[in-house]
Structure 1
Amino acid sequence: MLAGLGWAGAVGATKWHLHAKAERLRAEGVPERATVGDRRNTVGRGGGTDTVQVWYTHGGSTYSTRIPCGSARGCMAEPPAEMTVWVDPARPAEFVAENGHTDDSLRISNAWAGLPFGLVVAALGAWLTVPVTRPAGPATRRLPVRRGPGPDRLRRGGRSRVRQRRRRARR
């Protein structure tokens, strides 16, 4: 249960972090031209996401990383040969690309499918935990007290037996 909640929380936190990072870099980052190449088309074959390799130069050093090509369904068209990236001046390996993806966009916890998966695992864990934490059924159930004339057959406990013994002793 906790693992499922943890995974769902990690997906939400990753999505929030990457969105905040992209907004910050668009506002404070240094724009650089990046070369795009080495497209890997793996969508539809069970291989994951369409990706491209991005190379850019900042401060005399060249950086390279792989980012998603387009949306979750892959590239809808051939990617451009160049695109703008906004680079963090304090950490030049971090950037946001023109297509909205950051250098961390290929994290395993950056998939929306992880959110329902984590919630299903949490629900399954809760469902399996309930029988363990519930008290046993019939042993803890209270029997109804019979009122009115006739023998007190349903009442079980010390007081009713003591009364029956006292009645027998009086006879």
Structure 2
Amino acid sequence: MWRRRSSVWANLGCVLLVVAGGALLWLPFHTQFELDDWAAELRARGVPARAVVDDRVTKEGGNRESPSTTMYFRYDLSGRTYEQEVGCVEVCRSAGDEVSIWVNPADPGDFVTDFGQLSGHRGRVQGVLGAVGFGILVLAVPLLLSRVPFRRWFPRRTRRRPVALVRGGGRFTGRSKHKGYGRR
């Protein structure tokens, strides 16, 4: 009885690990879709402005990754000067370059550039959680599949032995416990 109960809990734990890993893997994709929608909304409803790349800083990664580069934008809006960072993802402009941006009127530190990059470093935490979710799935899916009783649900088919042909075309001469009692 105890073994059966622990098996149920182990199966439930494997299922929960797969669900948690899937949810964590889904998170960065969901976040990216939300950020794409927000960028489109800022382009439609944001206040247009011109920003200048004030500085570009490259930091070496501590874990053998490629270096990360950040651009610092400076722009004027409603008589005030703002400075905000933008990560170099696909496009990295040089210091002194001018860039068209659309600023959120409710939050002047929030904008989207003409090349589609949002201000700040958004989605990094979700990306790390997605990688953790992928790792959990790599471990949990085989573990879950190992607990599925495939042999009970899909038993192996037994092969039938081929019929032996007897030479001479005579009676069957196989050995048996009952030697010819009915043949006499």
TM range (shorter): 0.5 to 0.7
1:15 shift after superposition: 0.6
Equivalent residues in 2 for 1:45-64, closer than 5 Å: 46-64=65-83
Give the one of 57, 65, 70 matched to 1:40. 57
1:164 corresponds to: none
Which residue is 1:165 aligned to?
none
User: Which of 133, 138, 150 is the equivalent residue of 1:118?
Assistant: 133
Over 3 Å counting, the alpha-carbon distance change for 1:3 and 1:60 in structure 2 is farther
Q: Percent identity?
A: 28
TM-score normalized with structure 2 length: 0.57
Which residue is equivalent to 1:128?
Answer: 143
Which position in structure 2 is the counterpart of 1:18?
A: 35
1:53 Cα deviation after fit: 0.6
Scaled by the length of structure 1, the TM-score of the pair is: 0.61
CA RMSD, Structure 1 to Structure 2 (Å): 3.5
Answer yes or no: is the 8 Å Cα contact 1:11–1:115 preserved in 2.
yes
Q: How many residues align?
A: 136
Unaligned runs of 5+ in 2: 1-16, 156-176, 178-184
- Aligned partner letter, 2:65: G
Q: Give 5+ residue unaligned stretches, structure 1.
A: 142-149, 151-171
How big is each residue's C-alpha offset from its partner over 1:150-171, in whole Å with a ceiling of 9 and x where there is no partner?
9xxxxxxxxxxxxxxxxxxxxx
Aligned-partner SS, 1:99: coil
- C-alpha distance in structure 1 between counterparts of 2:51 and 2:57, whole Å: 18
CA deviation after TM superposition for structure 1 residue 109, in Å: 4.4
Deviation at 1:6, TM superposition (A): 2.4
Q: Deviations over 1:8-32 (max 9, x none)?
A: 2210111101100111111111111
Q: In the aligned structure 2, how far is the partner of 1:110 from the partner of 1:50?
A: 19
Q: CA distance change for structure 1 residues 103 and 109 in 2, over 3 Å: closer, same or farther?
A: same
User: 1:162 is matched with which residue?
Assistant: none
